[in-house]
Chains A and B, each alone.
Chain A
Amino acid sequence: AQSVTQPDIHITVSEGASLELRCNYSYGATPYLFWYVQSPGQGLQLLLKYFSGDTLVQGIKGFEAEFKRSQSSFNLRKPSVHWSDAAEYFCAVAITSGTYKYIFGTGTRLKVLA
């Protein structure tokens, strides 16, 4: 079955510390992968996406993600977290075989300590 797993429901880091948010997907075809951020009461903002090519993708706000096909993972990283990064983060995969749709992970809530 197609699925996206974000194993960490909550993550707390100190400001200035590095961050890694995990995302694993289950999908047999070529994955189109996305990371979104959502602040409270707001819509989704696209951080970065992977379609093909270089497996290390750069996004906005200093985020990057690495696609590892062998591990079915697409983890999000940031070398130094800012207090404004506190938000909910969603990983998603676009299902393109059969009926097209996105499958979202359950989200990871990031808290940043001053």
Chain B
Amino acid sequence: GAVVSQHPSRVICKSGTSVKIECRSLDFQATTMFWYRQFPKQSLMLMATSNEGSKATYEQGVEKDKFLINHASLTLSTLTVTSAHPEDSSFYICSARTRELINYSYNEQFFGPGTRLTVL
């Protein structure tokens, strides 16, 4: 249980284009989803938190106009990197939190496998 998927797993794009990454909870409803960024050999950095049907809350220093987050349903959140540049190349990981407390703890996040973005 508590499976989170991400698509695509890898994406290469040209500088100036936009890229969308999908995060889906496959067997539970995700009331909250989180987006992280991980640079090589570094820890995960929280970018933003999104609740279904409401605007995302961005961490300090994260450009909300560059990293657009949409949490349109209880099983899907998307991260769009707009006008991507080489410095946006990174590993992006999403996670989800659920209120289905019969099976899961509300204090635990379930992580997707990550998306490797390379901007040329």
Interchain CB contact under 8 A, B111 and A101: no
Instruction: Give Cα A92 to B110, complex, Å.
Output: 13
Give the distance to chain A from B4, nearest Cβ to Cβ, in Å.
9
Interchain CB contact under 8 A, B46 and A102: yes
Interchain CB contact under 8 A, B105 and A51: yes
**Chain A interface residue count, Cβ-Cβ cutoff 8 angstroms:** 23
> Which of A18-26, A36-44, A56-64, A73-81 contacts the other chain?
A36-44
Q: Which of A66-113 contact B (CB under 8 A)?
A: 88, 90, 94, 96, 99-102, 104-107, 109
A36 — nearest CB in chain B belongs to which residue? Answer: B111
With A41-B116, A44-B111 in contact, is A104–B93 under 8 Å at CB?
no
Q: Which of A38-55 contact B (CB under 8 A)?
A: 41-44, 46, 49, 51
Interchain CB contact under 8 A, A44 and B46: no
Instruction: Give Cα A71 to B114, complex, Å.
Output: 33
